[in-house]
Structure 1
């Protein structure tokens, strides 16, 4: 048994976000990643993406993560999907949210950029972007 609701492929995450009006997407990457790499775009669904860093750009854990979920308006019973670069930080965030009483909490497996290819580059093998889901870059 998992310590959160489970892993969803990016398309499954999009489908849940599309069909359940209460579902929230929380991007747990750093502000630098949001700015330079881009992020999921839910505007066609009429939803925002909630950005709460799991770890800061300086590598410091965000001790206020769960508190910031509430401050961002994430309700404790809303289905919440966590997204990061590759699915590792977001799995940790889903565990923390579940432990704090949020959920169901899901990890978006593969993340935004996905696994590295043979040359070590992300964004070519799998993930939100490769799945062709809506995203934008600032």
Structure 2
């Protein structure tokens, strides 16, 4: 089973602000959260969830599904889950795994938190931060 679909960062923010049950789950690593910052969804009245898809060494998180459940998500509850990673790749796997486990609808944020590398070698062409959506340092 495939996840519900891809969202632009603005579409993701709109879903989070318009749907009282939607939750953003950042699936980057703890190192990325500390070094780069995290999305700030406090304006929605709900905090983002933080569940790594892989660890800092790139190994899969064996407790990913149970970690989602620990956020208060339940299979088949219909609660929209928006997955975010650095550039929209790892979050595809997370959205697929969540969907297979019955969570969702699950969505992937296309450009992630930082987006792809631009012509200057920096991640400054798209993504959550470039779209000026709320974020904070840890």
Please confirm whether the aligned pair reaches a TM-score higher than 0.5, indicating the same fold. Answer: yes
What per-residue deviation string (whole Å, max 9, x for no partner) do you get for residues 68-123 of structure 1?
1011212332100000000000011000000111110000110000010113211x
What per-residue deviation string (whole Å, max 9, x for no partner) do you get for residues 50-74 of structure 1?
0000000122110110111011212
How far apart, in 1, do the equivalents of 2:90 and 2:58 lie?
12
Normalising by structure 2, we get a TM-score of 0.95
How many pairs were matched up? 136
Assess if the C-alpha contact under 8 Å between 1:10 and 1:131 holds in 2. yes
The answer to whether structure 1 residue 134 and structure 2 residue 134 are counterparts is yes
Q: Which residue of 1 aligns with 2:22?
A: 23
Alpha-carbon RMSD: 1.0
Shift of 1:21: 0.5
Q: Which residue of 1 aligns with 2:67?
A: 68
How far apart, in 1, do the equivalents of 2:122 and 2:24 lie?
25
- The correspondence of residues 4-43 of structure 1 with structure 2, limited to 5 A, is 4-43=3-42
Shift of 1:128: 0.5
Normalising by structure 1, we get a TM-score of 0.95
